[in-house]
Structure 1
Amino acid sequence: MGGGRAAGGRAGVRGARRPELRLPPLEPWPDAELRPDGDYDGLEFRDADLTGQDGVGARFMDCALTGCAVDGTGLGRARVLDSVLTGLRGVGTHLAESTFRDVELVDARLGGTQLHGAVLERVVVRGGKIDFLNLREARLKDVVFESCVLVEPDFAGARLERVEFVDCALREADFGGATLKDVDLRGAAPLEIVRGLDRLSGAVVSTGQLLDLAPALAAELGIRVE
């Protein structure tokens, strides 16, 4: 969904390329439990309870996961390709060092999701709410956060290139040690950054956002405002 073309692109910022997703006819997932290093191709996981299951290293290709519970699900080093994930819910999902390419994540309700060291490319996160998202040391390229709420997301040490926040609440974000290039924060409301203001040289903000960030910027630079 989306045309694989650059969106945005205002003020010299290169817009993110969105995924092009055309899922084939899908077969119902026939099993009740994930397998480590499992290979899942052209399957629909609907209302599956994946709580606590071990799918480390699994590969999902042309899949739809809809309404699934992922509390504590182990999916480290998983590869999720050309897939749509809708209505996922859960706390503590383990996705460290995983790869998401050409993926839509829609209306998720997640908390404490571990994506440190992950690679996200041509990914749209639309709707829903994600608390305490751990993206430390991750690589994000052509990623759009749209109409969603992110509470205390951790981008510390991450690399973000062509990342857009569109009608998105970004609360108490940590960009410490991050590297940003063509990152458009203008659609974030509110825009709250608790760490890493000195790392925003590759981002664009609106005039209003700059005024809101001014006290924190002044404190970061050691400027007294009286």
Structure 2
Amino acid sequence: MGGSGGTGSSGGASGSSGTAVKGARRPELRLPALEPFGGGELEPDGDYDGLEFREADLAGQDGGGARFMDCALTGCALDETRLQHARVLDSVLTGLRGVGTNLADATLRDVEVVDARLGGLQLHGAVLERVVVRGGKIDYLNLRAARLKDVVFESCVLVEPDFGGARLERVEFVDCVLKQVDLTAAVLKDVDLRAAAELGIGRGVDRLAGAVISPGQLIDLAPVLAAEMGIRVEG
């Protein structure tokens, strides 16, 4: 069984309050020997323990409320797959692809998501704890009203991610490209954006309290901040 959250990176720099930024705790996964998934379709409220889903076509299937424990999903197709209220625990998800995957109100705990290619991923109302999203590209990620704690986005591209009304605590963005982020009504605590490769805020720049950015990012965000505050900048 995967370990439930080892020690992660420690925040070494100081934020505006003069206190160190708390780093996210990363999952420590040790998958057991896995049995191959026997095929067939996912079942609502199904229980999947210690299984390997390799190159499985799960498009259009309904696994709402299912539990995935100590599983590996590799190269699976998830177009319009319904996984509302699913629980994904101590698992590694590699090379997932699909459009319209529905993980609304799901729980992801001690999970690694590697090289995903997803569009319109629905995670609104979800709970993510000790999760690493590494590599890949996710377009129109919906995390509205979600709760993220100890989450790391690393070397990935997020196009128009929506964090509206979400709560983010100890979340890090490392070598990520963030395009037109929506932070409307979001609450941030110990969110480290300094290592983001690109940081574009579409809406909710006023919600950056609780985040740490670099001096260069502050300069890049100056026009957005000025517009938010109603400041006219003229030559």
Provide the TM-score with structure 2 as the length reference: 0.94
SS in 2 for 1:188: coil
Write out per-residue CA displacement over residues 62-103 of structure 1, whole angstroms, 9 at most, x where no aligned residue. 000000000000000000000000000000000000000000
Of 12, 17, 20, 2:28 maps to 20
1:151 aligns with 2:153: no
Write out per-residue CA displacement over residues 143-171 of structure 1, whole angstroms, 9 at most, x where no aligned residue. 00000000000000000000000000011
Is the CA contact 1:26–1:43 (under 8 Å) kept in the aligned structure 2?
yes
**CA deviation after TM superposition for structure 1 residue 8, in Å:** 4.0
SS in 1 for 2:199: strand
Q: What is the alpha-carbon distance in structure 2 between the residues aligned to residue 45 and residue 20 of structure 1?
A: 21
What is residue 17 of structure 2 aligned with on the other side? none
Write out per-residue CA displacement over residues 122-145 of structure 1, whole angstroms, 9 at most, x where no aligned residue. 000000000000000000000000
Q: What is the alpha-carbon distance in structure 2 between the residues aligned to residue 205 and residue 138 of structure 1?
A: 22
1:189 aligns with 2:191: no
Q: What is the alpha-carbon distance in structure 2 between the residues aligned to residue 130 and residue 39 of structure 1?
A: 27
1:7 aligns with 2:6: no
Provide the TM-score with structure 1 as the length reference: 0.98
Matches within 5 A, 1:24-39: 24-39=32-47
What is residue 105 of structure 2 aligned with on the other side? 97
Q: What is the alpha-carbon distance in structure 2 between the residues aligned to residue 200 and residue 6 of structure 1?
A: 23
What is residue 161 of structure 1 aligned with on the other side? 169
Structure 1 residue ranges without an equivalent (≥5)? none
What is residue 74 of structure 1 aligned with on the other side? 82
What is residue 113 of structure 1 aligned with on the other side? 121
Is the CA contact 1:6–1:14 (under 8 Å) kept in the aligned structure 2?
no
Structure 2 residue ranges without an equivalent (≥5)? 15-19
TM-align CA RMSD = 1.2
**CA deviation after TM superposition for structure 1 residue 4, in Å:** 1.6
Write out per-residue CA displacement over residues 166-225 of structure 1, whole angstroms, 9 at most, x where no aligned residue. 000011000000000000001112100011111111000000000000000000000111
What is residue 69 of structure 2 aligned with on the other side? 61
Opposite residue 124 of structure 1, the aligned amino acid is V
Q: What is the alpha-carbon distance in structure 2 between the residues aligned to residue 123 and residue 14 of structure 1?
A: 16
Write out per-residue CA displacement over residues 17-47 of structure 1, whole angstroms, 9 at most, x where no aligned residue. 0001000000000132100000000000000
Q: What is the alpha-carbon distance in structure 1 between the residues aligned to residue 113 and residue 231 of structure 2?
A: 41
**CA deviation after TM superposition for structure 1 residue 6, in Å:** 3.1
Opposite residue 7 of structure 1, the aligned amino acid is S
1:198 aligns with 2:206: yes
Structure 1 runs (4+) greater than 3 angstroms displaced: none
Opposite residue 175 of structure 2, the aligned amino acid is D
Opposite residue 158 of structure 1, the aligned amino acid is A
Q: When the two structures are aligned, how many residues end up with a matched partner?
A: 226
